[in-house]
Amino acid sequence: MTMALKSVLITGCSAGGIGSALVEAFQKQNMLVFATARDPYKMSHLKEIPNVKLLTLEPTSVTSVRAAVDIVAAQTGGTLDYLVNNAGQTIIMPTLDFDIETAKGMYEINVWGMVRVTQAFAPLVIEAKGTIANINSIGTHVNTPWMGEFTKPTPVAVAMLNDALGLYAGSKAAANAITETLRLEMAPFDVKVVNIVTGAISTNILSNGVNFELPRTSRYKNIEKEISARARGEDGTPRMEPSLFAEKVVGDILRGAKRHIWRGGYASIVRYTSYWFPFSLAVSEARSCSIACMGDLLMATRNTCLSKELA
């Protein structure tokens, strides 16, 4: 039984992603890290790191989650100090064209996977009076329609609309609302629930866009090239390195963050503009791309925020 070190379990730790970077950042803080993924081979790069234990965990499977809980409980004596729900999927597709069964699969991991893992590990986290941290998205705060204009690099389009991902944003909005409510429900047990409002990070998340194709009947066929570039992540969006993101987030969590952590490319600009400007204004600006002064202001803010975020 390993008792001395604080423990953390992270879902979705495949190489190249946020989860893997979080494993290394927590490990550097002298913690016992349970790195999990549905495919353990995708975590081979972590296997020699001291105090890192690799576990197969598929958040969409009851039996897989239960098996992981038993292993962790046996190794920690029934406690877990930090649970990080990170596993998730992004699929880019206009809402009108999205195959609903495919979308359900995305919700299965982004919403129900997160809930299932949280329910199963809650007794261990309560025992530790620990912290649950959910990796959510700035997409929740800029839910905008897919539109051709945002492929033009106009200030507001770039600043406000680059994360317009329709049903993905919907799944993360659900996860966001659940996270916010869970915070209240866990407070009586002295468990913190932290919402990590994640900006653009350079990971594998857009790899499903490699073979992107709109249905033949799509009304967006005339901008397929632009949507396809976005789906592959080739849209010119500056993205933060996962290691830098992880270092900042782990610092925030271990310093005792209680509510929200805004980190990653565009996180600051989205945070501040979502307070300052009504959503309807952003949408109308995206349509007309003509409110120059607001555009200049946003561009200046964006540049300042981005240079700080990505440094």
Ligand X SMILES: NC(=O)c1ccc[n+]([C@@H]2O[C@H](COP(=O)([O-])OP(=O)(O)OC[C@H]3O[C@@H](n4cnc5c(N)ncnc54)[C@H](OP(=O)(O)O)[C@@H]3O)[C@@H](O)[C@H]2O)c1
Residues forming the site for ligand X (CB under 6 A): 12-14, 16-19, 37-39, 42, 58-60, 86-90, 109, 135, 137, 198, 200-201, 203-205
Contact 123, 61 (CB under 8 A): no
Give yes or no: 248 in active site.
no
Our CB check for ligand X shows the closer of 117 and 128 to be 117
For 39, list phi and psi in degrees, rounded to 5.
-120, 100
Pairing of strands 52-56, 32-37: parallel
Give yes or no: 225 in active site.
no
Our CB check for ligand X shows the closer of 75 and 204 to be 204
d(CA 31, CA 23): 9
Our CB check for ligand X shows the closer of 66 and 129 to be 66
Q: Which residue is nearest to ligand X (CB)?
A: 88
Q: Closest distance between ligand X and the C-beta of residue 240, in Å? A: 8
Q: Closest distance between ligand X and the C-beta of residue 100, in Å? A: 16
- Across 33-43, b (16+ Cβ under 10 Å) vs e yields bbbbbbebebb
Contact 225, 102 (CB under 8 A): no
At 114 the three-state DSSP class reads helix
Q: Closest distance between ligand X and the C-beta of residue 27, in Å? A: 17
Our CB check for ligand X shows the closer of 76 and 195 to be 195
Q: Closest distance between ligand X and the C-beta of residue 221, in Å? A: 27
Catalytic residue among 42, 53, 172, 192: 172
d(CA 21, CA 240): 12
Q: Compute the Cα dihedral for 110, 233, 261, 160 and give only its sign.
A: negative
Catalytic residue among 168, 192, 221, 308: 168
Q: Which residues are catalytic?
A: 168, 172
